[in-house]
Every structure is written in structure tokens, then in C-alpha cells.
Structure 1
Amino acid sequence: ICRREMRCGFLLFTVISTASTLKCKDIIIGQANGTSFNFVNTLDCPKDTKWCMNLNISFQSPLYSIDGLFGNCESSGFIGSLLNFTKPLADLTCKTAGCASFPSANLTRCCCNTDLCNSTSPRLFPLIVALGFFILLLL
């Protein structure tokens, strides 16, 4: 009986742990070294990830060029690599939700902390609410 309870408890813990990880959009839309990309996918972030992030970046050098929108879990994929690479120059890590511009790097970073919040699709609900308030003001 104890073994069965332990298995059930472990299974429940695993399901709860898996269900509580943040989900972000994995986005690569743009060009890198002349190659075009248009990729959007949903992914489960690593266990302790707190932020989804989008970077809108345009960078040119003799060795590398990049121009586009990139999204991921803050510590994963291209974004995780970029954060580690730029850390000595600029701290791009998320501290609060919202967007920040880094003109010297020709980069805008947006951070959010709810499932799939870094989606590229427009969100209609805030627009509908704003339109509703505008109509009420006109009445």
C-alpha cells in the first residue's frame, strides 16, 4: 500500500510540476546572415524560468548580420545565448514586465510572465476594452 501511495504521490507531483512551467512562443522571424526565417512554435520553458522575452533587433557587422523578431523563454535558445554574449556590455535580463529600448544596440526587449504572452498575434481584448471606453465617453 505504501509503495502504491508513493507512486501516486510522485505521479501527482510530476503532473503538477510539469503543469506549472511557463509556456512561451519560440519565434524567429527575419534574417540572419542573409538567410530568411519565419518560424513560430510553442514551447515549455525550463523549470525555473520566470519570463518570456521578445527581442526586436537589427545588427550589422563585417562578420554577422541579424534583423528581425526573436522570442523564447528568457534563458533558452537564441535569446539565452544572446543574453550570455551581451552580459558584459548590457544587461538585457528581465526585471519587470514591459518593453525597454536599447538604442546603442539597436534593440528593443519585451518581457512578460504569463503563458504565451510573447505571441506575435495581436491581442484583440485590450483593443475591444479601449474601444468600449471610447464609445462610453462619446455618449
Structure 2
Amino acid sequence: MAILEIFNIALIGWVVFGVADAPVTVANVAGYGATAFLLAVGASYWVVKLRQVRAGQSQLRYRVVFRRLRFLCAAVVVIAGILVGIGFAGRVSGYAAGVVLWVLAAAEYVNYFHWQLMYDNRAELARLSRTGRLARAHLWRDLRRTS
């Protein structure tokens, strides 16, 4: 997961600013920056989680750091949202990618710190179908378990 998250940072930047040729505006860069930051935090969590599992430890290391990152990530999403919103005064191409990326950043925040939004195996899909409810995010559970 960590490698995929880091790969996605580069891939999203290349697709948005390279392939789609979105202009480098404050709104577009703010949306991308927020998404990249959240993906980097997610990647760091999965690295720490993998080490925890391999070591057979019951508690997540660096949990205090991740608690603080939760608030920093929320601030990043809010500030990026303001910057993207300011871009609405310009041309659509100057903020469209920023809006999409900001929504992705907000979804990543929810996915890491609150509710699991990504269901990529049969067991998770079966549980979701059976209960009709989203599961709590893995990081949320780790922070809750260790508090």
C-alpha cells in the first residue's frame, strides 16, 4: 500500500499537469498539494503498520505523530479548499483540476482518519454488503485502540 500511495503522488501529478495539461494555478497546485500530502501521510502509516505486523507488536508506533497529523491533514484540506475556492474567479481550466484533486484529498482524509472508503477484496465487500455500513478506517482503529 505504501508503495502504491507514493506511486500515485507521481502518477496524479503527471496525469493532471502533463497529460491533461492543466495550468499551474494556485487552485490546481493547492488541490494537488493537498492530495499529495494526504497520500504521503497514508504511505507513512502503511510503512509503520507493516513494521508493526512484522514485529508482532500490539500497538502502533508513532501514534502520537499520527494523532497530530490528523489535525494537520484536516488543516491542509481546509486551506487547500480555500485556495481552490479563490480560483473560482478565474477560468474553469484554472481551477477544475484543483476541485477534483481537493475532493480526492478530502476523501483520502476521511479514508485514513475516519471511515474506510476503499474496499478492494471479497471479504471487505461481503462485510459491506452484509452490514450496509462503512467500516472504520484502519488508522482510526489504531489510534483508538492505543489511546
TM class by shorter-chain length?
A: under 0.3
| Bigger CA radius of gyration | 1
Greater percentage in helix: 2
Highest relative contact order (Cα 8 Å, sep 6+), 1 or 2?
Answer: 2
Greater percentage in strand: 1
TM-score by length of 2: 0.26
